[in-house]
């Protein structure tokens, strides 16, 4: 399930939530006020493109194997 970032149109709170493909964005409500008037925002990606053209997770080159998923 992907994590999406939302902004509440009522109280302007910015929050993240997991959204399953079957539920969709229409069922997301504000964590603070409970409003259904939320808007998906653009957030930074969690990967980068290497010069060779392959996708590498952002933490893969940090040396922390528990975060990167590589052993």
> pTM for the full model?
0.55
CA 39 to chain centre: 13
pLDDT at 6 over 90: yes
Give the containing element (helix H, strand E) for 54.
none
Highest mean pLDDT among 19-23, 49-53, 55-59: 19-23
Query: Does 3 map to a domain?
Result: yes
Return the C-alpha torsion angle 6, 9, 14, 33, nearest 10: -110
Structural domain including 33 reads 1-46
Q: Which comes out higher in pLDDT, residue 34 or 57?
A: 34
pLDDT at 46 over 90: no
What's 37's domain CATH number? 2.20.28
Q: Is the Cβ–Cβ distance between 59 and 67 less than 8 Å?
A: yes
Query: Does 25 map to a domain?
Result: yes
Query: Does 29 map to a domain?
Result: yes
């Amino acid at each position: 399930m992907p994590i999406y970032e939302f902004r509440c149109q009522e109280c302007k709170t910015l929050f993240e939530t997991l959204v399953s493909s079957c539920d969709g964005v229409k069922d997301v409500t504000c964590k603070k006020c409970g409003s259904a008037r939320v808007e998906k925002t653009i957030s930074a990606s969690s990967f980068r493109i290497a010069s060779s053209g392959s996708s590498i997770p952002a933490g893969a080159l940090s040396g922390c194997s528990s975060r990167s998923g590589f052993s």
